Amino acid sequence: MILILSLVFLFIGVKAQNNGKTDSLYIHNLNEVVISSNRIETPLTQNSKTVQIITAQQIRQSGVTHLVDLLQQIAGIDIKRRGAGAAQADLNIRGGTFDQSLLLIDGVKLDDSQTGHHTLNFLPPPQMVERIEIIKGSAARIYGQNAFTGAINIVTKKETPKTLTLDLQKGNYDQTNGSIFVGNTTEKTSVLGFVSRNTSDGYRYNTDYDYNQFFVKSSFNRHKTPLDLIATYSGRKFGANGFYATPSAVDQYEETQASLVSLSQRFSKGAWIFKPKVYWRRGQDMYEYIRNKPEIYRNLHVTNKLGTAFDTSLASDLGLTGMGIDISRVSIRSNNLGDRSRTMINLFLEHRFYLFNKSIDITPGIAANYFSDFGSHSFPGIDLGWQMDPNLRLYANMGATFRIPTFTDLYYSDRNTLGNADLKPEKAISNEIGLRFISPKVSVSLAFYSRKAKNLIDFVKNSNDDNIPFTAENIQQVNTEGIDFELIHRIQLYSLNHEFKISYSYLKNNLENSGFNFSRYSINNDLKHHFVGSYNLPITEDINLYLVYKYVERFSGDVYSVVDSSARWRHKSFEIGLYFNNIFNTEYWESNLVPMPKGNGLLGLRYSF
Q: Is the pLDDT of residue 5 over 50?
A: no
Average pLDDT score over residue span 249-265: 96
> What integer is the mean pLDDT of 9-19?
38
In this prediction, residue 25 carries a pLDDT of: 36
Average of per-residue pLDDT across 104-133: 93
CB 511 within 8 A of CB 478: yes
Q: Which residues contact 543 (CB under 8 A, 6 or more apart)?
A: 9, 12, 13, 16, 567, 568, 569, 570
Instruction: Give the pLDDT band of residue 41 (cuts 50, 70, 90).
Output: confident
pLDDT (mean) for 218-222: 91
Report which of residues 10 and 91 the model is more confident about. Answer: 91
Which pLDDT score is estimated for 75? 94
**Residues 430-464: tens digit of each pLDDT:** 999 999 999 999 999 999 999 999 998 888 888 87
53: domain CATH number is 2.40.170.20
Exposed e or buried b for every residue in 362-386, given b needs 16+ CB within 10 A?
A: ebbbbbebebeebeebebebbbbbb
Q: Give the pLDDT of residue 190.
A: 94
User: Mean pLDDT throughout 245-269?
Assistant: 93
Residue 370, pLDDT above cutoff 60: yes
Q: What is the dihedral of CA 526, 97, 425, 417, to 10 degrees?
A: -90
DSSP codes joined into one string, 260-308: EEEEEE-EEETTEEEEEEEEEEEEEEEEESSTT-TTT-EEEEEEEEEEE
What is the predicted pLDDT for the residue at 26? 37
- Give pLDDT, residue 521: 65
In this prediction, residue 416 carries a pLDDT of: 82
pLDDT at 294: 96
Helix (H) or strand (E) holding 10: helix 2-15
Handedness of CA 406, 410, 414, 418 (dihedral sign): positive
Q: How confident is the model at residue 38 (pLDDT cuts 50, 70, 90)?
A: low
**Residues 307-329, mean pLDDT to the nearest whole number:** 95
Write down the mean pLDDT value for the chain.
89
Contacts of residue 73, Cβ cutoff 8 Å, sequence gap at least 6: 62, 532, 534, 548, 550
Using alpha carbons only, what angle is made at residue 323 by residues 314 and 154, rounded to the nearest 5 degrees? 100
Name the band, by pLDDT with cuts 50, 70 and 90, for residue 30: low
Residue 10 — pLDDT band, cuts 50, 70, 90? very low
Range of the domain at 470: 2-608
Q: Is the pLDDT of residue 379 over 70?
A: yes
The pLDDT value recorded for residue 522 is 56
Does residue 28 have a pLDDT over 90?
no
Straight-line distance from the first to the last Cα atom of the chain, in angstroms, rounded to the nearest whole number = 32
Q: Is the pLDDT of residue 13 over 80?
A: no
Among 28-32, 186-190, 259-263, 464-468, whose mean pLDDT is lowest? 28-32
Out of 35-39, 89-93, 280-284, 398-402, least confident range: 35-39
Which pLDDT tens digit goes with each residue over 52-101?
A: 999 999 999 898 989 999 999 999 999 999 887 778 899 999 988 899 99
pLDDT at 491: 92
**Which helix (H) or strand (E) segment is 482 a member of?**
strand 470-493
Q: What is the pLDDT of residue 318?
A: 93
pLDDT of residue 151: 93
Q: How many domains does the chain have?
A: 1
The alpha carbon dihedral of 134, 135, 139, 143 has a sign of negative
* Partner residues linked to 4 by β-bridges: none
pLDDT above 80 (res 513): no
Q: Can you give the pLDDT at residue 580?
A: 94
What's the pLDDT score for residue 12? 38
**163-171 and 175-185 beta bridge pairing:** antiparallel
Amino acid identity for residue 460 in this structure: V
Confidence of residue 19 (pLDDT cuts 50, 70, 90): very low
Reported as a single tens digit per residue, the pLDDT across 570-603 is 999 999 999 999 999 999 999 878 999 999 999 9
Inform me whether the pLDDT recorded for 332 exceeds 70.
Answer: yes
pLDDT bracket for residue 110 (50, 70, 90) = very high
The three state secondary structure string of 225-261 is CCEEEEEEEEEEEEECCCCCCCCCCCCCEEEEEEEEE
pLDDT band at 156 (very low <50, low <70, confident <90, very high): very high
Could you tell me which residues come within 8 angstroms of residue 125 by beta carbon, excluding any fewer than 6 positions away?
Answer: 67, 179, 181, 194, 196, 213, 215
Q: pLDDT at residue 9 above 60?
A: no
Residue type, 509: N
pTM of the shown model: 0.91
